[in-house]
Amino acid sequence: MLDLRVPDGRAEAPGPPWHVALFLAAVASAVPLWCARFLPLADLPQHVAAIGILRHWWDPAFHLGDRYSLNVGDSQYFVYHAAGAVLSAVTGSAESANRVLLTAVAIAFPYALRSLLSAFGRDERLALFAAPAFWSAPLMMGFVPYVAAVPVATWAVALFVRQARHPSRAGHVGLACVACLLFSLHLSAYLVFLGCVVLVAFPLYRRPAKIARALAWVGPSALLTVAWALRGSLAVPSVPKPESAQVAWTSTRTLVQQLPIWAHDIWRSHVDEGCAVVLSVALVALALQRGRAPEDRWLARAAWAPLAFAALAYCFLPYNVGPAVMLDTRMATFVILFAPLVLAPRPGLAGTLPLVAVFASHLVGVVDSVIEVRRTESEELGEVDRLLDRIPAGARVLTLPVHLTSRHTHWPPWVFLGSYHVARAGGEADMSFTRIRHWPIRDRPSVEDARRPLFWTLAPCTFRNAYDGPSADYLLVRASRDILRGHPQGPAWRRLDQQREWSLYEREPGEEWSGAGERADPGPCAKDDDVDPSPASQDK
């Protein structure tokens, strides 16, 4: 076992064994990212597709300019996708570039918290709590630009605290640049950063005039925010106005009860829950201790500000504003990340044993994530790459996950699987986030299909061949049986290949099915007795 103890009175300067433990914890967080070809992160294929489109934007073979337009001004994700596009030129693909980016983010989590702990004069060993925070509900939902913005925002708060303690003109310029970067990386993390620095500024500066001068660097990013808001970036043209403006809230009581779930419950197995219990016990054990606190009492008070703001954001933000969802619950990551800022472990075993437990439980959680990632891919996808490789460049793909749920994850992980085709070979994939106004790439008006509401593929049973079939060249279907077995009225299809529950259908050129005796299309979720069994309705 690594000796994580530090000499009495030197909590701010842990020794080499602690550095080794932090490095191992940080690297371990990234290991599950490399254990499967396809990661079960729900929105991940959409982000990979955006990276692929940006990388091949000027490639005439992809014909992207005919279908999409760049949307830099309205997007808060552009930095992540642009970085991935540049990196993909080195790694060779958008998928590998995204994996490298996520690896850097995983490693950055504990080191960003370490920087913030150091800025507040707290025990840097507490950065171990940040390593398990990477594998969380936002990551499983595939909110990768947000997850990437979390350590950047944490490090930016540390930069502000150091600027407050040792002011410099270069520090003001750096904060202005970081704020603009955060705005273009993810708006939620940018708002957390601003809220934290405002609360931190009160105990550090204490006078309104000094606070105003200290926050002057906010100006450029604030102008970007105002310009973005005035352009109506939350509106979605393809969705009726009442739906695009819809705001929903989660009760504070429910949020408080579910904080551990949103922070750490990511798999259907119970290993992650056991690890969360260990983390909670360690946090409580350290909270009951009264170790060495910063000598500056105002700095000690300021250390509470990030946690206070994260908790307020978690409890009082809406759940969704139009298509932007989980605005409140995703703040659980910041709550967990900032909680160690208020701890003061005692020197010796009393302060060391809880940290050893955190380190050990994190490694157990990583092993569990490796197992679950591999099982999810093996059992639910198999060699699905074979199906994706049969889709030609520039084709339009409709993904229909009739079987939505997963035996391993709490959220449907494969809803947007067809978007990998866009990353590799261009074309279109529905449902595509290119219909959302704050996405960095938008459908051109002539291409955008407004017939269906956003995220309609989350209700695949509503698919009707005569209505939805003509807009696709290929169907990528996850179902336990042939959903087109009754030859419903509309385009004619033939099944090209099948892997596990996944089937790839190709539309027959120039052919249409007249329907089973002009009966209404029962849809892909109909029971067998809802389908016409006559010979005319059987597969060719």
Short-list 105, 86, 87, CA closest to 146: 105
Query: Consecutive 10-residue runs of the chain (540 residues): their mean pLDDT?
Result: 39 76 98 97 96 92 82 86 96 97 98 97 95 96 96 98 94 96 95 97 93 95 89 48 65 88 90 94 94 82 96 93 85 96 92 96 97 97 95 94 94 95 92 87 72 78 91 94 88 94 94 70 74 39
Query: Alpha-carbon distance 174 to 185, whole Å?
Result: 16
For residue 404, give Cα distances in angstroms to 140, 410, 412, 413, 429. Answer: 15, 11, 6, 8, 17
Short-list 132, 76, 51, CA closest to 355: 132
Predicted pLDDT at 528:
58
Predicted pLDDT at 214:
94
Query: Alpha-carbon distance 360 to 368, whole Å?
Result: 13
Q: In this structure, which amino acid lies at residue 352?
A: T
Predicted pLDDT at 518:
56
Predicted pLDDT at 531:
46
Cβ neighbours around 15 below 10 Å, total: 13
Q: In this structure, which amino acid lies at residue 332?
A: A
Q: In this structure, which amino acid lies at residue 202?
A: F
Within 44-106, strands assigned E span 68-70
Predicted pLDDT at 55:
94
Contact 339, 156 (CB under 8 A): no
Contact 398, 67 (CB under 8 A): no
Predicted pLDDT at 362:
97
Within 161-273, strands assigned E span 247-248
Structure letter (DSSP) for residue 460: G
Predicted pLDDT at 515:
66
Short-list 359, 333, 339, 341, CA closest to 151: 333
Peptide bond into 431 cis (omega under 30): yes
Using a CB cutoff of 8 Å and minimum separation of 24, what contacts does 118-121 make? Answer: 118/12, 118/158, 119/157, 119/158, 119/159, 119/161, 119/162, 119/165, 120/161, 120/294, 120/299, 120/300, 120/302, 120/303, 120/341, 121/12, 121/294, 121/295, 121/296, 121/299, 121/300
Cβ neighbours around 260 below 10 Å, total: 15
**Beta pairing partners, 493:** 507
Short-list 453, 384, 417, CA closest to 44: 417
Predicted pLDDT at 455:
78
For residue 309, give Cα distances in angstroms to 123, 363, 403. Answer: 21, 30, 40
